[in-house]
Amino acid sequence: MAKKQKTFRPKARLPKGLRDQFGINVRAEQALLARVRALFESYGFDPLETSAFEYADALGKFLPDADRPNEGVFSFQDEDKQWLSLRYDLTAPLARYVAQNYDGLVKPLRRYQAGPVWRNEKPGPGRFREFVQFDADTVGSPLMAADAEMVMLLADTMEAIGLPRGDYIVRVNNRKVLNGVLERIGVLYGDDPDVEIKRLTVLRAIDKLDRLGPDGVRLLLGKGRKDESGDFTKGAGLSDEQIETVMAFTDAGGGRNGDVIARLEALVGDSAMGREGITELQEIADLLMAAGYGEDRAAIDPSVVRGLGYYTGPVFEVELTFEITNDDGQLMRFGSVASGGRYDGLVERFKGIEVPATGCSLGVSRLLAALEAKGLALVDQVSAPVVVLVLDKTRVGASQSMVRDLRAAGIRAELYLGGSGMKAQIKYADKRASPIAVIEGEDEVAKGEVTLKDLILGAQLSSSIKDNKEWREDQPAQVSVKRGDLVAEVKKMLARYDGSSL
């Protein structure tokens, strides 16, 4: 007798570093995107949608996760043996779009885009492989006014989503200034790939200053660092003297913007590139002050370098400055929730000509987590719908008409679509946290009535009967009304809860 073949059943599991979202979490994200979109529109930016996939060579190799497979991206080969990759941000696809449509675009191009991006990096607490970004970019402007505007946009965004001044700061730096410092210590620039790798390693070490602290950065600037899991990250291999010069650069912040710029000017010495960066920083600082964005909202900070390899000039990030207490009673900060900078060479990869560009990007998930921690909900808890029960399958049409009437009156409502009896249907409505169940049985049909069961009040009465005698007498948890009064009576019941169930 042949052995019966076992049926394969895949295990229902979510890939590591990804997540599912439902209900209020989705609504909160949509509310945040709506607020940011309205602000970006008010600045004159227009929406753009690009593909989730790009040819891998079009995306380029700019991510800091060079030790990850495919340099930190998810890739596959198509039928033509060409490599495709999921986008790791929204800026690289924008550069491809600009290059492909360059002659027909109005320049400077002002665009915004929201959407998911994917990175093949090591997941951890609050660190996902798929997350949503919201970007704004100006392509075709060499003016520092475009970078200053991005700083203003980031500051205004924080306040548009409910964060008061004092709870955030936009920190501004310039890659050219750091390049000037590196030039002074002998980390040169040229065609040698090892030199470029060393430079990027220095950048990415500094970019981890908030997370690892000065001691951790020193290790990454030197021989390398082993993390808590035992993984070793190779360092930049700088000498002790070189490391101290770099650390002096990161420590040059604090105080008035003019004082910080003066300290940085001394560090870059006679480096032409460094002095160019100083001039640009001063211009941005002057523009911000003239527009009314004081140092309480935007500050020059040399510790900001950003990890992506395509930045060529000003860089900036938004840091949340307030502290919260976590579940273990420890004080913690959310740190950076948005960032950006100038990337004058990204479109040039396609066109062969320099196309100046600058932009910013919001980390939507991190912003939502910060707002939740602050108790700044963007949406109220949306109640479950009124549930219309189906007790007679021959009268589904009549039940559906009640649902239609409720919806037409602006009341969230649904028809029970399961196959169970009345008891199970009431239990379903309870599990849905429904405010009201609408019941139409044989008795109600004969009288031309419907019964409304106030499930919220019923739950209250069942938990505190002794204290609710007067309430029960004045506002019973279940009433029968004429079919024509359905909508009015449901509204009356919902009004008991200050309209929170509408």
Q: What is the pLDDT of residue 183?
A: 85
Over residues 312-331, the pLDDT tens digits come to 999 999 999 988 877 777 77
The secondary structure of residue 38, as a DSSP letter, is: H
Over residues 403-424, the pLDDT tens digits come to 999 999 999 999 999 989 999 9
- Per-residue pLDDT for 257 more than 80? yes
Q: What is the pLDDT of residue 501?
A: 39
- Per-residue pLDDT for 425 more than 50? yes
Q: What is the pLDDT of residue 125?
A: 67
List alpha helices for 21-101, DSSP H. Answer: 24-42, 56-59, 91-100
| Contact between residue 362 and residue 341 where contact means Cβ atoms under 8 Å apart | no
Q: What is the dihedral of CA 258, 259, 264, 267, to 10 degrees?
A: 140
Give the separation between CA 83 and CA 68, rounded to whole angstroms: 17
Least trusted range by pLDDT, from 105-114, 191-200, 474-483: 191-200
Q: How does residue 469 score in pLDDT terms, banded at 50, 70 and 90?
A: low
- Per-residue pLDDT for 491 more than 70? yes
Q: How does residue 467 score in pLDDT terms, banded at 50, 70 and 90?
A: low
Average pLDDT rounded to a whole number, residues 329-351: 88
Share of the chain above pLDDT 70, in %: 91
Q: How does residue 178 score in pLDDT terms, banded at 50, 70 and 90?
A: confident
Residue 68 backbone dihedrals phi, psi, to 5 degrees: -90, 160
Average pLDDT rounded to a whole number, residues 470-489: 78
Sheet holding 298-300, edge to edge: 46-47, 109-118, 130-139, 357-363, 335-342, 314-320, 168-174, 298-300
- Per-residue pLDDT for 500 more than 60? no
Q: What is the pLDDT of residue 123?
A: 76
Least trusted range by pLDDT, from 147-151, 196-200, 388-392: 196-200
Q: What is the pTM of this model?
A: 0.82
Give the separation between CA 155 and CA 314, rounded to whole angstroms: 16
Over residues 203-230, the pLDDT tens digits come to 788 888 878 888 888 998 888 888 877 7
Least trusted range by pLDDT, from 26-30, 395-399, 475-479: 475-479
Q: What is the pLDDT of residue 461?
A: 66
Q: Per residue in 340-377, is it b (16+ CB within 10 Å) or e — as a string?
A: bbbbbebbbbbeeeebbbbbbbbbbbbbbebbebbeee
Top pLDDT among 260 and 210 is at 260
The secondary structure of residue 285, as a DSSP letter, is: H
Q: How do 331-332 and 324-325 pair as beta strands?
A: antiparallel
CB atoms within 10 A of CB 316: 27
Q: What is the pLDDT of residue 69?
A: 41
| Of 456, 451, 457, the residue nearest 432 (C-alpha) | 456
Average pLDDT, whole number, for the chain? Answer: 87
| Contact between residue 250 and residue 244 where contact means Cβ atoms under 8 Å apart | no
Sheet holding 386-388, edge to edge: 413-415, 386-388, 436-439, 449-454, 478-482
**127 half-sphere exposure, CB direction, 13 A CA radius:** 8
* Encoded tokens for 282: 């001063």
Over residues 262-308, the pLDDT tens digits come to 999 988 888 899 999 999 999 999 999 999 999 999 999 998 888 77
Top pLDDT among 204 and 400 is at 400
Over residues 10-60, the pLDDT tens digits come to 899 988 888 888 888 889 999 999 999 999 999 999 999 999 999 988 887
Q: Which residues contact 456 (CB under 8 A, 6 or more apart)?
A: 435, 496, 497, 501
Domains of the chain (ranges, CATH numbers): 16-142+344-382 (3.30.930.10), 164-313 (3.30.930.10), 386-495 (3.40.50.800)
- Per-residue pLDDT for 473 more than 60? no
Q: What is the pLDDT of residue 102?
A: 95
Over residues 61-116, the pLDDT tens digits come to 766 554 444 568 888 888 988 989 999 899 999 999 999 999 999 999 999 999 99
CB atoms within 10 A of CB 184: 17
